[in-house]
Amino acid sequence: MSGAAPEPAAAPPVEARGVEKWYGPLPAVRGVSFALAAGDFLALFGPNGAGKSTLLRCLAGLARPTRGEVRIAGEAVTGGDGAWRRDIGVLSHQTYLYAGLSAAENLEFYGRLYGLDRLRERVGEALEGVGLWERRGDRVRGFSRGMQQRLALARTLLHDPRVVLLDEPYTGLDPHAAAMLGGVLERLRDGARTVVLVTHNLSQGLELASRVAIQVGGRWISDEPRAAVDAHRWERVYTERVAGAA
């Protein structure tokens, strides 16, 4: 464990310090710093190309920041293996699923990688939680987009991570699946888990968030507690000013 905090519980679950990510000469993230407390639900908005996905990938240890660092529960995030990976779950618009395996097999595979015990049970519970128990033996190839995203969600939460990172999870979802996703996100606001939600869905984001930020051109131009924001005015100004800047 790093020497950053006297006791592990005191370290913020998610912390970014001066994170920059350049792809060759092109900047995607240009100096983002923030720290979340346990139980925070951060909604991150911004136009396309603002680098929100890149920032999320840096938080998840999928992209190595050009400068700065990310810490999960006090531990520095690297591109490789690490105990901190057990603490994070990531849901992207890519599902990370294997089309040739069944729903249960996909979850069991990931469960083995995370070294989970009571695997069969946990897989069963996870499938039931997203309403896919009846389809557990079917190949993912035959699943609709909504079903795949639900399975991906199950995969994200299978190992019960403390930090959940979601990158535009509503993309391409039918209303039924979107409602289910909303329900799951609600349940994630349990005070112990920390969530970062990147989304274009303003109303959903504002409803769930305890903290609201906006990223434009690789930088955060706004970062406020939800309580300080008036939802209607905010939505209007955002749509006028920021979304138009893309």
What does the alpha-carbon distance between residue 159 and residue 151 come to, in Å, rounded to a whole number? Answer: 14
Does 80 interact with other proteins (rule: CB under 8 A)? yes
Based on the shown chain and the rule CB under 8 A, indicate whether residue 109 belongs to the binding site for other proteins. Answer: yes
Size of the site for other proteins (CB under 8 A): 51
**Could you tell me if 32 and 16 are in contact, meaning their C-beta atoms sit under 8 angstroms apart?**
yes
Site string for other proteins, 207-236 (x = CB under 8 A): -------x-xx-x-xx-----xx---xx--
Torsion over CA: 154, 47, 54, 34 (sign): negative
How far apart, in whole angstroms, are the C-alpha atoms of residue 71 and residue 54? 16
Instruction: Please report how close the Cβ of residue 23 comes to other proteins at its closest, in angstroms.
Output: 5
Contact call for residue 200 and other proteins (CB under 8 A): no
Contact 217, 46 (CB under 8 A): no
By CB under 8 A, name the one of 67, 112, 120, 187 that touches other proteins.
112
The pair of structure tokens assigned to 242 is: 């920021």
Q: Which has the closest alpha carbon to 180: 170, 189, 194?
A: 170
Residue range at the interface with other proteins (CB under 8 A); choices 10-18, 36-44, 101-109, 202-210? 101-109
CB of 198 to other proteins, least distance (A): 16
Pairing outcome for strands 88-91 and 75-76: unpaired
Decide if 136 contacts 63 (C-beta within 8 A). no
- 227 contact partners, CB below 8 Å, separation of at least 6: none
Measured from the CB atom, is 179 or 246 closer to other proteins? Answer: 246
Q: Does residue 171 interact with other proteins by CB under 8 A?
A: no
Residue placing its CB nearer to other proteins in the complex, 157 or 186: 157
- Minimum CB distance to other proteins smaller for 16 or for 242: 242
φ, ψ (nearest 5 deg) of residue 110:
-65, -35
End-to-end, the C-alpha distance of the chain in Å comes to 41
Q: What angle do CA 85, 90, 91 make, to 5 degrees?
A: 165
63 binds other proteins (CB under 8 A): yes
31 binds other proteins (CB under 8 A): no
Is residue 97 a contact point for other proteins (CB under 8 A)? yes
Candidates 85, 135, 193, 211: give the one binding other proteins (CB under 8 A): 85
**Residue 91 carries which DSSP code?**
E
CB of 163 to other proteins, least distance (A): 12
Give the residues lining the site for other proteins (CB under 8 A).
Answer: 23-27, 57, 60-64, 79-83, 85-86, 88, 90, 92, 94-101, 105, 109-110, 112-115, 155, 214, 216-217, 219, 221-222, 228-229, 233-234, 237-238, 241-242
